[in-house]
Amino acid sequence: MEALHRLTHLDRMLYETERLHPLAILIARKATHDLAIGGHRIRRGTMVLTSPYLTHRLPEEFPDPQVFRPERYEEDPKASRRLLGFGAGIHRCLGQHFSRMKTKVLLSLLLRHDRMDLLDTPTPVTGLSPRGLSVPCRVRYRLRNPDWRAS
């Protein structure tokens, strides 16, 4: 666990990947009281939608929003709190830290022990449709050291 906590650049890369490719397309909440946002009045009980895909690309929240810049989380350590991929506020996913840790474990093992070759060109789905790739994208995994698993 101590070694995983030291992989801070991997954390920043995962945050930036989540920012550019959030799993949640839309988040829906019901307004619990009357409020005004950007000059618009929202009445209590109104269903309000937000899109992590769009809000993660607001230049006032994330400068150079179209650029993959993991160092933005080193420059602004609170930037990761503005990510909505796991929800927000009291509705934030309780399993977000477990999910991120599990991803770090998997990636660190793959990167340490395997060589990965991209066989196809990834073509991401664009816009607000479900996240993923528009066509299959195959990856070949090969052990860096074939004797590693025998020991």
Give the count of domains, the chain.
Answer: 1
57 lies in some domain: yes
145 lies in some domain: no
Q: Say what the pLDDT of residue 130 is.
A: 56
Nearest to 86 by CA among 76, 70, 103, 99: 99
139 lies in some domain: no
23 lies in some domain: yes
Q: Say what the pLDDT of residue 151 is.
A: 53
**Cα four-point dihedral sign 100, 13, 122, 58:** positive
**What pLDDT tens digit does each residue of the chain (151 aa) get?**
888 888 899 999 999 999 998 877 788 889 999 999 889 999 999 999 988 989 999 999 999 999 999 999 999 999 999 999 888 777 788 888 899 899 999 988 888 888 888 898 877 766 655 566 667 788 888 888 766 555 5
Q: Say what the pLDDT of residue 150 is.
A: 56
Nearest to 59 by CA among 19, 8, 14, 17: 19
Q: Say what the pLDDT of residue 148 is.
A: 59
106 lies in some domain: yes
150 lies in some domain: no
pTM for this model (two decimals): 0.77
Q: Say what the pLDDT of residue 22 is.
A: 86
131 lies in some domain: no
What is the residue range of 41's domain? 2-113
Round to whole Å and give the CA distance between 30 and 15. 27
45 lies in some domain: yes
